[in-house]
Amino acid sequence: MISGMYVTPERQKQADAIPYALSGASIIALKGGAVQPKTEDELCGVKVGLQAAPPG
C-alpha cells in the first residue's frame, strides 16, 4: 500500500509524511535475455512496456 502513495500537499493536510525513498526511471530486462540495455538510448527500436505514474 505504501509504495503506491505519494506525498502531496492534499495528503499533508491530513497527515504528516516523511519521504522515505526517492526513485526515478528504471529499466528492467530479463536476465540472460537478448536485450540488455544500460541506457534509454539502447531501447531505440525495441518493443517495450511501461507503467505510467498514477495521478496525484
Per-residue pLDDT tens digits for 8-54: 889 889 888 877 777 677 888 889 999 999 888 999 999 988 777 77
- pLDDT band of residue 4 (cuts 50, 70, 90) is low
Q: 6 with 55: CB under 8 angstroms? A: no
- pLDDT band of residue 3 (cuts 50, 70, 90) is low
Q: What is the pLDDT of residue 1?
A: 46
H helices within 1-56, ranges in order?
9-14
Distance CA 44, CA 27 (A): 13
Q: For residue 4, give the 3-state DSSP assignment.
A: helix
Matching residue, cell 504528516: 16
- pLDDT band of residue 2 (cuts 50, 70, 90) is low
Q: Containing domain of residue 20, as a range? A: 1-56
Q: Name the domain count of the chain.
A: 1
Q: How many residues are listed for the chain in this entry? A: 56
